[in-house]
Structure 1
Amino acid sequence: MATVSPAERLLDLVIALRNARAPMTRAQIRAQVNGYHDAENDIAFERMFERDKVALKELGIPLLTITDATHGDEFGYRIDVSDYDLPPIELSPEEIGVLGVAAQVWDGADLASPARRGLTKLLAVAPPGTIRPAAQSLRLPTPDEQFDTLLAAVGERRLATFSYRAAHSGATEVRRVEPWRLLVSDGAWYLHGYDLGRDGERQFRLSRIVGAVRVDEPGTGEQHPAGPAPENQRTQAEAILLVRPDRATALRLRAVSVEPGARPGYDRVVLAPGDLGDLASLVAGLADAVVVLDPPELADAVRTRLRAVAALDGADA
């Protein structure tokens, strides 16, 4: 049986306590909540459960301990529904579609299963006609194995140390980095941060990290303030594109307007001003289905990327 991650176990504990008709005893929690079967013995279970109790309280989830009125011993546990329930939330089909796209970020990462489960429950009660994730796929790359560790390092401001293979030489060197953010560029995940050895901000492609990532204590990655995200040049006007029908879903998700059949064989798609590099990379990957009409700087950036790919193909031939 596969080991359940701590995050998934915690989510299952919340669901079980939230839906239990009566307080759950420790024995019931161990038997019924997915993840506690990984405990080798009673002591291991107690440690896991105590950690999860602390985690729930830190998240602001009102876990109540029910004690025996006579002896004061712990009898069971429940979540106070009156403090935990949120007001009804009504989401439009478009908003649910955006949440579906966002859930794809966790594919292959620690929260992949909870994200899929939450999205499935959301779609189960969604109104008819809601955009389905399968039809509106953002095609985000699957996170690399170092993703979870680096994401935690960013959030907790921990210095990260790892071996990194240079793209130009293939040489591997140890890099010590203050991690700022994780981002996607040209179909791959990158770490953006401050390289202490190079004394400057750098980007590191996660697929070139060799072996495990080591992290220091929380609060160690605060020596240099985070700089702006790379490639932050923005288009000054709306992007006007011609897009083949039923293609380029990622672009349609960003659209301000879509005019089906505006030209023979094409829809007219308009996008709001945004990050030039990000949009150019996206359009270049869909070049067989998209024509850039405006602005000129976007068309130039797309052509630059396509020429670079062509040059690489020629070099490999």
Structure 2
Amino acid sequence: MAPIMPPTRLEAMSTTVTPAERLLDLVIALTHTEHRMTKADVRRHVNGYSHAGNDDAFERMFERDKVTLRELGIPLVTLTDDAHGDDIGYRIDLDGYDLPHVDLTPAEIGVLSVAAQVWDGEHLDLPARRALTKLRAVSPAASGELSGHVLRIPPPSATFDPLLSAIADRAVVTFTYRAATSRAASQRRVEPWRLVVRDGAWYVLGHDLVRDAERLFRLTRITGAVRVGAAGSAVHPRSAATDEGAASVDGASGTTSTARVAVRPERAAQVRLRATSVTTGDGRWAGWDLLALPVGDVEDLAGLLAGHTDAVVVLDPPHLRDAVVSRLRAAAALAGPEAPRG
């Protein structure tokens, strides 16, 4: 039998191998083998299969992976040895691969890998992982610059899909929305343009027909179902000069602006991640770092800053500082007087 893959990373067995990792390693092995791999070769050389407790467990694992490969459109070829007809082997026929030529750079593959995390645990999780497996088999490895990078955003909520469909169909949507400050709920009619991530949360950007203005609505504040109107019912075009940073967050106190905060050195890493600029403080704030932050949703940002207590001081704007102080006072009231010791 022709030699198979050299014992590279596929033989570096990890303590825990996910099904997606095992499937990717199987694709790489079957793609690079010069002739074929038998089941014994797969079990011995492909990362993940050695963890099968017995022959039956390995057979079930391998059969599931073969079915998955064929569902992905990957041409898995079965070969038999001329001298030993019962000695069955496998390989992937790249000439029969149904993908067109894929010309992706390592950085682009890395970005796709990170973007697929949006669907982690959601209904598109499996298709996203399978698509990445297929792309990685015929593309260069992901850029090391993005290795281990994790998206700091929540998965899409139940309102995501109907809003996405409405955007594609240019349809008006109707939903009940709870304001951030008053908590009052009201019905809104919106022509949605885009779904965006801002300050670690999902928003829908569109034209609010109730207020006749461009607005951002946070998806977690939409209560109940999103009702989608007829296709083509949305008529307001999005201005080319406007981006999501210029829209007001509906129901939030204040609009998008820039906050200035003083942060103690090497503290408040989550706050630093949102900074658009960092300078060295002087005078009263000598020894501190001065950060500029996009305000966006005041209530959300105030909650983040208050969580860092004495490590962060809000300098501007006043309404953000008041919101943070209010939270700190409420936390102090909940703590109550210190219990006597001894």
Q: TM-score, normalised by structure 1?
A: 0.50
Does the CA contact (< 8 Å) of 1:137 and 1:250 recur in 2? no
Q: Of the candidates 207, 215, 224, which is equivalent to residue 202 of structure 1?
A: 215
SS of aligned partner of 2:245: coil
Equivalence for 2:324: 309
Q: Which residue identity does 1:226 align to in structure 2?
A: R
Q: Of the candidates 124, 130, 136, which is equivalent to residue 144 of structure 2?
A: 130
Equivalence for 1:19: 75
Distance 1:89 1:244, change over 3 A: same
Does the CA contact (< 8 Å) of 2:73 and 2:97 recur in 1? no
- Deviation of 1:243 after TM superposition, in Å, equals 8.1
Between the aligned partners of 1:18 and 1:277, the Cα distance in structure 2 is 47
Between the aligned partners of 2:273 and 2:294, the Cα distance in structure 1 is 14
Gap regions ≥5 residues in structure 1: 1-11, 23-79, 236-240, 256-267, 269-273, 293-298
Equivalence for 2:237: 225
Between the aligned partners of 2:142 and 2:154, the Cα distance in structure 1 is 29
1:29-40 aligned at under 5 Å gives the runs none
Between the aligned partners of 1:250 and 1:202, the Cα distance in structure 2 is 27
Distance 1:198 1:251, change over 3 A: closer
Distance 1:109 1:198, change over 3 A: farther
The C-alpha deviation readout for 1:240-290, integer Å capped at 9, x for no partner, is: x99859x669959x99xxxxxxxxxxxx9xxxxx99557x999x95896xx
Between the aligned partners of 1:234 and 1:163, the Cα distance in structure 2 is 26
Gap regions ≥5 residues in structure 2: 1-67, 79-94, 247-255, 278-288, 334-342
Larger radius of gyration between Structure 1 and Structure 2: 2
1:59-138 aligned at under 5 Å gives the runs 84-92=99-107, 95-119=108-132, 127=141, 130-131=144-145, 135-138=148-151
Does the CA contact (< 8 Å) of 2:74 and 2:97 recur in 1? no
SS of aligned partner of 1:201: strand
Q: CA RMSD in A?
A: 5.3
Distance 1:219 1:140, change over 3 A: same
Q: Which residue identity does 1:91 align to in structure 2?
A: P
Distance 1:177 1:89, change over 3 A: closer
| Percent of residue pairs bearing the same amino acid type | 42
The C-alpha deviation readout for 1:91-119, integer Å capped at 9, x for no partner, is: 24xx4433333222333544232223444
Q: Of the candidates 193, 211, 222, which is equivalent to residue 206 of structure 2?
A: 193
Does the CA contact (< 8 Å) of 1:191 and 1:205 recur in 2? yes
- Deviation of 1:83 after TM superposition, in Å, equals 7.4
Distance 1:119 1:307, change over 3 A: farther
SS of aligned partner of 1:231: helix
Is 2:195 the counterpart of 1:144? no
Between the aligned partners of 2:130 and 2:318, the Cα distance in structure 1 is 41
- Deviation of 1:206 after TM superposition, in Å, equals 1.1
- How many residues are matched? 226
SS of aligned partner of 2:144: coil
Distance 1:186 1:91, change over 3 A: closer
Q: Which residue identity does 1:178 align to in structure 2?
A: E
Distance 1:167 1:178, change over 3 A: same
Does the CA contact (< 8 Å) of 2:164 and 2:195 recur in 1? yes
Does the CA contact (< 8 Å) of 1:144 and 1:207 recur in 2? yes
SS of aligned partner of 1:309: helix
Q: Which residue identity does 2:222 align to in structure 1?
A: I
Q: Which residue identity does 1:146 align to in structure 2?
A: T
Q: Of the candidates 214, 224, 228, which is equivalent to residue 227 of structure 2?
A: 214
